[in-house]
Structure 1
Amino acid sequence: MYRPTAFRQDDLTTLHAQIDSTGLALLTSNGPAGLQATHLPLLLAADEGEFGTLYGHFARANPHWQDLTGQEALTVFSGPDAYVHPGWYPGKAEHGQVVPTWNYIAVHAWGQVEVFDDADRLRLLLERLTARHEAGRPRPWALDDAPSEYLERMLRAIVGFALPIRRLEGQWKLSQNRQAADRAGVREGLAASDNPRDRELAARMTP
């Protein structure tokens, strides 16, 4: 990922928090079958390895997993993003030397994938993923809510994987390369937007 110095984010706690807040990640690889990409919900085990380990699962019918063993994969976690209108810069009225841009938050994680289909390990992974996404609901769903025979069929229909992160990079492009007045103008413009992602990004911009 191209990361100008002003936008680099290398704090591990911050990177892990962004991974945890991302509902759906993009896992990409370039194996014997060529470039492939799959959108997946992932679980981060922050205490496993130097940078943590990612866990997830594929539908067994998805050929992507068959191309992963021993291959390096790149996983992308996209945060809020927003178009930056040039009119938000005070400098537009003064000299006009401004152009549109895009602000965003993103994390990239690289590692080699280990595929597994052990039923007990798969069930534990699904329990952890389910607990994460059902947390806070009035009546959270659990695996035991499904009939055991049905659940066994579902487990046979998926393949799990672990991705120990060996390289982790973050990009927080939030107008840090602009003057304070320009940053304030962008933050105010995004905060006034009808788009909730714009407002979310504005909240991530420091004064």
Structure 2
Amino acid sequence: MTDPTQALSRLSPLLPLLARFIFAAVLLPYFWASAMTKLGDGIFGVLTPSVGAYAQIFPKAFEAVGYDVSKLGIFHWAVVTAGTWAEFVLPALIVLGLLTRLAALGMVGFIAVQSLTDLYGHGGIEHAATLGAWFDRLPDGVILDQRAFWVFTLAVLAVQGAGALSLDRLLFRSGAPAHPGDLRPAPEGPQSR
């Protein structure tokens, strides 16, 4: 008699592909739209963030200097510029399945910083609905509820990799398999020596 759960366990290699699909369908448009609001004018907009970028990432520091970007330092520019690039590059890497584990870990860090900025920089900590709460029957808290699902999706990719249909698998085929079940014995014969 066969165990029906064994058939389900054979589908586990599809989990990373499904996680990347969900990320592409739900979070890619969100992060890219957010990044677009941070670009400055013209072709060099990727190096000259918009005023809104500083307001989003450093709300209190920006307010303290009277919303004058020229009064902020190189540190602020570097963080805002790197954050903008990260919102474009890391999601693209995840969707393409390229350097997926590293990109997923980078996105987890990005989401942690984003959440802390939302809570303490923008005052979300003062609003119970923004923070949310676990085990409260309400699944719509922005930080604790929604972002927990985001991080879980990314954790699947960080642990399991991009899966079979990915640039990681294509480019790094000789690397370690994504799943222990992918281990196959080497072919026997003179060519294997």
Q: Provide the TM-score with structure 1 as the length reference.
A: 0.21
Q: Provide the TM-score with structure 2 as the length reference.
A: 0.22
> Which structure has greater strand proportion?
1
Q: Which has the bigger relative contact order, CA under 8 A and spacing at least 6?
A: 1
> Which structure has greater helix proportion?
2
